Amino acid sequence: MSRTERLLTDLERGFEALEAGKLDAAASIVERCQRIDRKNPDVIALAAAVSDASGDIDDALEQYRLLLELRPDDPMPRICVARLELQGLGDPDAALETVQAAFPFIDEEADLIEAIYIKAQALVVRGDPEAARDALGELASSVIDDAELALDLAELALSAEDPAGAKRWIEVAQSNDADHELHADTLHMLGRVHDVTGDHAAAIAAWQEVRRLDLAAEPGPLEISEDDVEQIAQQTLAELPPQIREKLERVPILIDDLPSEALVADGVDPRLLGLFQGTPMPEGGELAPTVTNILLFRVNLARACVDADHLAEEIRVTVLHETAHYFGLDEDDLEALGLD
């Protein structure tokens, strides 16, 4: 077998391994391909995709930018760079500039959808929801036949302050979810739309059904015990200054699987990760006049995370978020502290 034939075979195996989620195998194949021809555009594309999937943002960006130099008319590297600039580096201005440069080269529907999604997302992050709504308006619902993508678009529309648009994408998701695999997710999103538009009765009705479905669902791939949640919560509190910890001795941290039926009936999102109940501490530091506690929802936390490290960090952030509510901080304050 010639070097060229071996390279082509390895590339095919590398992309198959990547698609199957076998990142270690794909990375080994990248190293083998690079020894044969490091400058081959397909080798660079595979290396970029493996680094991207592995979370190595710097190397992925380097590889995608190198691929862009070799294939300047290919929109894919620009779209990938824009996505990483936005989601990895948190730079919406750079992402907008990069993705805008991709549009003249786009001739595939899938590339167009991804580019518009990134553009709208960057505009939301930059604080321009009106422009984000205009960007999403370029997408016709008839071209979307993926229920999960439609739900992502509904989420983005809601972030762009367009509940009507979010509801349209929810309808697209429902029509493409033949096996009802995303029924609970769709209902949850619909409840959020109703909540934003002030139809609280409809939101509660949707969320009560979501709670029922979530209770009946099989456990997710990630699980954590109440003891482990409590241990992480206590470790988080131990990070705080002594004078803060002293005040928090009055506030027990309670752990439940999900928000109770009564809480959901009061309008609480059934997929909430944590909840502060009671009266925030007055400025004078006197004991709050009502029963006060912090609730952590174990199952929701586990289902929201991708691995154990992510879960531990999410519990930590949730504890700090709800603790901040006890001290009277509002959502703007929490966002400024990175606890939104």
- What's the pTM? 0.85
CATH number of 226-336: 3.30.2010.20
pLDDT for the residue 337: 41
240 phi and psi angles, rounded to 5 deg: -80, 155
Residue 223 identity (one-letter amino acid): E
Place of tokens 């709670």: 211
Q: Contact 159/144 with Cβ under 8 angstroms?
A: no
pLDDT for the residue 184: 96
pLDDT tens digit at each of 340 positions of the chain: 788 889 999 999 999 999 999 999 999 999 999 999 999 999 999 999 999 999 999 999 999 999 999 999 999 999 999 999 999 999 999 999 999 999 999 999 999 999 999 999 999 999 999 999 999 999 987 789 999 999 999 999 999 999 999 999 999 999 999 989 999 999 999 999 999 999 999 999 999 999 999 999 998 899 999 999 999 999 988 888 887 778 777 788 899 999 999 999 999 999 999 998 877 765 545 555 455 788 999 999 999 998 999 999 999 999 988 888 777 655 554 455 444 4
Class of domain 145-217: mainly alpha
Distance of CA 317 to the CA centre of its chain: 15
- DSSP code, position 288: P
pLDDT for the residue 2: 85
278 phi and psi angles, rounded to 5 deg: 125, -155
Residue ranges, comma separated, of all CATH 3.30.2010.20 domains in the chain are 226-336
In angstroms, the CA 184 to CA 190 distance is: 10
Task: Supply 292's token pair.
Answer: 């006060």
pLDDT for the residue 298: 96
Beta bridge partners of 293: 277
pLDDT for the residue 328: 65
- DSSP code, position 141: G
CA angle 22/70/96 to nearest 5° reads 80
For the range 167-170, what are the long-range contacts, defined as Cβ-Cβ under 8 Å and sequence gap of 24 or more?
A: 167/193, 168/141, 169/141, 169/144
In angstroms, the CA 195 to CA 160 distance is: 15
CA angle 214/210/160 to nearest 5° reads 120
pLDDT for the residue 238: 86
Q: Contact 112/106 with Cβ under 8 angstroms?
A: yes
Residue ranges, comma separated, of all CATH 1.25.40 domains in the chain are 145-217
pLDDT for the residue 284: 46
pLDDT for the residue 240: 81
- DSSP code, position 259: -
